[in-house]
Amino acid sequence: MRSAMTLAVLAALGVAVAGAGATAVVADALRESQLRLADETVQRRVSLIREVIETETGRYADALRLVAAAAGAADPLTGTAFARMVEPLRQRRLPGATSITFLVPATDAQLPAVQARWRTRGQPALRLRPEGHVDEHIFFVLAQEMAPGAVPVLGTDLTASAAPARAAAEARRSGQVAVSDAFHLLGDRDLPDDRRQLSFVLTAPVYGSAAGGGRGRPLAGWVMLGLRGQDFLGAVLSRIAQGADVHLRARQSDATSATVASLVTAGGKELHRSVRIPVAQQSWQLDVSIARTQVPGARGLAGTAVMIVGGTLSLLLTILVFTLGGGRARARARIKAATADLRAAETAARGQAELMSAILDSISDGVGVIDEHGTFLLHNPAATTMLGTGADTGEIAAWQRHYGLFTPDGTAPFPTEQLPLVRALAGEHVEQVPMMIRNDARPGGAVISVSARPLEAAGRAGAVAVFHDITDRARAEEELARTAARLRAAHDELTAQKAYLTQVLDAINVTVITCDADGVIVHANRVARSALPRDGRTLVIADATPLLAVAYPDGRPVPPEENPLTRALAGEDIDGMELIMTLPGGDRHILMAHARPLRDADGRIIGAVASSFTITALREREAELAAFAGIVAHDLKRPLATVRGFAELLHEELTDPAGPAGSRAPAAGADGSSGIVAGDHARHLERILAAVTGMSRLIDDLLAYATARDATLTLTSVDLKTLVQEAVAEHLAAAAADPNLPPPRVYVGPLPVVCADAPLTRQLINNLIGNAIKYTPPGQAAHVDVTAVPAEPGWARIEVADRGIGIPPGEHAAIFTGFHRAATGYTGTGLGLAICKRVVERHGGTITAHDNPGGGARFVFTLPAPDGPQPGE
């Protein structure tokens, strides 16, 4: 019995020792496996977070490159064009984006020209404000808001802010997108600490369209995208962190570290990982902390459970052996309780796997994982959709044919050895390789960007790839390239047209000058350049006007504000402005100037153009002709008076039967021959008198024509009612002397008082009323109405209407030219209406001819009212 007991004890002890040893070995192996699995899980999550952040920052940098390329292709770049370029980015509502701006460099000497240039490109109120003493300033000239209240003030000098200025300098040096140090935006510095966050800017250089490519082209400026760090990455981190603490830190230029964005959850975190992330020219640090409870197997419960279960089993076996099989039911219950922790650990592991699967399923970028043989272990739904094929192939050599992988332009198969996953299997880190997928599911082709990394876990090699669909971006880039080509072609055509137009303007002997909206002279043709200073400086109208020594005909200098270009910039149309320019040698030239404002498609004035030509020789000839006409007219009146006097005397002697006193008329012969001869002589004398009368009338009209142009105006208040009544009385008296002429009927309505020269106005009224009475059909009484009609403020408008023969079609303007006669069969010199036109225009008014609805003609003229504009203004 004792021996049996001893054997039982020894057997029990053996079972206990063996069970404890086996349990310890199994628990250690399981715990090591779980820790390795936990480490791989944490590393995969960190890699996923890193890939997502890299993709997001790369997406923003790509968008900025597109805007920079479009800005460089635009010639010229205007505020409207810049707004169209960035509108797609605004519509996408990029998280964290505050504003997108365009900046240009300028030295102190270049400030006026740069400011004037951008004022004409859509920023008329731009004022550049340099700060500090630097070799070159950087100014904001265009801006579009992406977030409320975050747009910098245009004209601000960027060099006053160290972080963005260093980013601009790095972008210029490298020719690539550069990221700044983290800093606080001016608009955020007054916020409470809990709402204030660090920001940074992405900066891309913009190159002009000069010959050459790449960085060899001249720098035109920068495109800068402002980003609030927490807003930028907070949304991304909240989707993928899954309870982890994430901190993204940027190394500053002063060797310190700044936290750009972070996401912190409650509870302690025992597992920590740090990786570097390339962002433009910098390398940021990503710190991830995860609680053990969130990682399957990290707590080591399975090992503990094995130890407990193994110990328990060993104890039970010992008891069983010792007691020779006591209570089977109790043993099963204890085994079930002991394995409960194992099931819990398994459930947690499955939940963690499902969580990772849900994360991969929820992201929009495709993810694919392969083992060291090229067999796909994982494709998330986004990757399956992008690849367009349901089944995978494990043969690397068959990937190109199976998935339909081609070069980005779709013309050639993508080389297998250059595929990102193949290169990653070889240990290479591959960034954003573009390729086209074209297969039965995607016959139209889709362009994707692939990044790949090598993987090594549990002693096994593999690789992971992230796919990003850039089809829309690729098409946009192609369209942008086509647009850039069209713009270059249009630019070349415009350049050729400009050169042609410059040659045309230089070939004519007319001065042509153009200026921009700020009054800066931007072009002068050959004739104009010969008169302007040649020292190479930028001229504005205010500076050029005194240099040209331009004056009015009366000798008064023309001030800058009355220069034709200045008045055109104010919206005036200048026609026939007569000026006198004195050359350095003392020669005086009389110029006829014209000017017009230049407007853009929206009607805004963007500049002005003025032209002028010399009329010195014309004015000299006119003066000579006027002097000649005056001399001839005065010298002819005296002999004509003598001829008229003697002709009238002879006519009286021949027609008076008694003859002159103290003499006797010649006796008539039997056949009456002497009487016949006397009658013939009398008729000849009547013809002479008629010719003398016509010649005298022509001389009077010539004198009146010259006086209407050259006589000095003596302005007084003239009562038109009285003046018209006196003229009507004279014409009625003259008509009454002819018994064969029916008496004219003249109606004179209420007429105003005007500010005019009385003798010239009397000449105007006499001519119009005389014409209305004269140009009436034979045997018909003349009917004339003189009335006042409504006029603009400051002017009087008079209408003289008749029922005469009217004006032939097409002659309404020609009748006001000198010596023009529209009607035949009526006497006259053809100067009456020309004199009327000169009188009215000397007073600053207008005169026009119209058909009278009741038959005849209507003449309408304007004269200044006493409180209206004075002649010559």
Percentage, residues of the chain above pLDDT 70: 74
867 with 751, same domain: the answer is yes
Structure confidence at residue 140 (pLDDT): 94
609-621: pLDDT as tens digits: 999 988 888 877 7
pLDDT band for position 387 (50/70/90)? confident
- CATH number for 857: 3.30.565.10
485 with 416, same domain: the answer is no
The region of weakest confidence among 324-338, 424-438, 614-628 is 324-338
Pick the last residue of a domain from 614, 647, 662: 614
Q: Is residue 118 part of a domain?
A: no
The region of weakest confidence among 265-279, 351-365, 765-779 is 351-365
Provide the residue type at 395 as one letter: E
Pick the last residue of a domain from 563, 584, 614: 614
688-723: pLDDT as tens digits: 766 666 666 666 666 666 666 666 678 899 999 999
Q: Report the range out of 37-41, 357-361, 808-812 with the highest average pLDDT.
A: 808-812
pLDDT band for position 665 (50/70/90)? very low
Q: Which residue has the tokens 């050169």?
A: 499
Mode of pairing for the β-strands spanning 745-748 and 783-789 = parallel
Q: Is residue 695 part of a domain?
A: no
Percentage, residues of the chain above pLDDT 90: 18
- For residue 111, give the 3-state DSSP assignment: helix
456 with 577, same domain: the answer is no
Q: Is residue 549 part of a domain?
A: yes
- The token duo for 469 is 């669909």
The CB density around residue 319, as the number of other CB atoms within 10 Å, is 17
- For residue 404, give the 3-state DSSP assignment: coil
857-870: pLDDT as tens digits: 999 999 999 876 65
Q: Report the range out of 20-29, 50-59, 106-115, 371-380 with the highest average pLDDT.
A: 106-115
Structure confidence at residue 662 (pLDDT): 42
- The token duo for 690 is 């008629």
490 with 551, same domain: the answer is no
- The token duo for 698 is 């022509």
Q: How many domains does the chain have?
A: 4
DSSP secondary structure, 542-598, as one string? HHHHHHHTEE-TTS-B--GGGSHHHHHHTTPPEEEEEEEEE-TTS-EEEEEEEEEEE
- CATH number for 426: 3.30.450.20
Say if residue 328's pLDDT is above 60: no
Query: What global pTM score does this model have?
Result: 0.38
- For residue 679, give the 3-state DSSP assignment: helix
Q: Report the range out of 205-219, 352-366, 781-795 with the highest average pLDDT.
A: 781-795
pLDDT band for position 494 (50/70/90)? confident
pLDDT band for position 771 (50/70/90)? confident
Q: Is residue 746 part of a domain?
A: yes
pLDDT band for position 400 (50/70/90)? confident
Q: Which residues contact 195 (CB under 8 A, 6 or more apart)?
A: none
Q: Which domain holds residue 773?
A: 711-873
Q: Is residue 66 part of a domain?
A: no
- Tell me which DSSP letter residue 739 carries: T
Structure confidence at residue 212 (pLDDT): 41
Say if residue 434's pLDDT is above 50: yes
- Tell me which DSSP letter residue 671 carries: T
**Over the range 62-75, which residues count as b (16 or more CB within 10 Å of their CB) and which as e?**
bbbbbbbbbbbbbe
What is the number of alpha carbons within 13 Å of residue 664 lying toward its C-beta? 3
555 with 591, same domain: the answer is yes
Q: Which residues contact 692 (CB under 8 A, 6 or more apart)?
A: 640, 643, 644, 647
Structure confidence at residue 251 (pLDDT): 85
Provide the residue type at 509 as one letter: N
Structure confidence at residue 214 (pLDDT): 42
pLDDT band for position 327 (50/70/90)? very low
What average pLDDT score do residues 442-468 get?
83
Q: Is residue 132 part of a domain?
A: no
* CA–CA dist 786, 765 (Å, integer): 10
* CA–CA dist 272, 38 (Å, integer): 12
518 with 503, same domain: the answer is no
The CB density around residue 833, as the number of other CB atoms within 10 Å, is 23
Find the helix packing angle between 79-92 and 2-73, rounded to 10°.
160
Q: Given its phi and psi angles, is residue 14 left (phi above 0), alpha (psi -120 to 50 degrees) or beta?
A: alpha
751 with 785, same domain: the answer is yes
- Tell me which DSSP letter residue 743 carries: P
432 with 546, same domain: the answer is no
The region of weakest confidence among 39-48, 96-105, 624-633 is 624-633
* CA–CA dist 227, 152 (Å, integer): 13
Q: Are 100 and 236 in contact (CB under 8 A)?
A: no
The region of weakest confidence among 281-290, 387-396, 534-543 is 534-543
The region of weakest confidence among 91-95, 676-680, 809-813 is 676-680
Find the helix packing angle between 673-710 and 832-842, rounded to 10°.
20
Say if residue 776's pLDDT is above 80: yes
What average pLDDT score do residues 667-684 get?
59
Closest by CA position to 699, among listed 769, 622, 638: 638
449 with 384, same domain: the answer is yes
- The token duo for 115 is 């400011």
* CA–CA dist 841, 872 (Å, integer): 10
Structure confidence at residue 435 (pLDDT): 92
* CA–CA dist 438, 387 (Å, integer): 9
What average pLDDT score do residues 504-529 get?
87
Structure confidence at residue 872 (pLDDT): 52
Pick the last residue of a domain from 442, 469, 496: 469
824 with 757, same domain: the answer is yes
Comparing 807 with 645, which gets the higher pLDDT?
807
Comparing 787 with 791, which gets the higher pLDDT?
787
* CA–CA dist 507, 527 (Å, integer): 9
Closest by CA position to 128, among listed 147, 150, 109, 100: 109
Structure confidence at residue 749 (pLDDT): 92
Q: Is residue 729 part of a domain?
A: yes
Q: Are 103 and 140 in contact (CB under 8 A)?
A: yes
Closest by CA position to 222, among listed 100, 307, 335: 100
Q: Report the range out of 198-207, 494-503, 813-822, 832-841 with the highest average pLDDT.
A: 198-207
* CA–CA dist 538, 536 (Å, integer): 7
Say if residue 431's pLDDT is above 50: yes
* CA–CA dist 484, 157 (Å, integer): 30
* CA–CA dist 826, 776 (Å, integer): 10
The region of weakest confidence among 1-10, 57-66, 598-607 is 1-10
Alpha-carbon distances, residue 81 vs 106, 142, 444 (angstroms): 22, 10, 32
Alpha-carbon distances, residue 775 vs 145, 710, 818 (angstroms): 74, 29, 18
- The token duo for 657 is 């039967």
378 with 449, same domain: the answer is yes
What is the rounded average pLDDT for all residues in the chain?
Answer: 79
The CB density around residue 857, as the number of other CB atoms within 10 Å, is 22
746 with 786, same domain: the answer is yes
Q: Find the Cα–Cα–Cα–Cα dihedral 759, 765, 769, 771, rounded to 10°.
A: 80
Q: Is residue 609 part of a domain?
A: yes
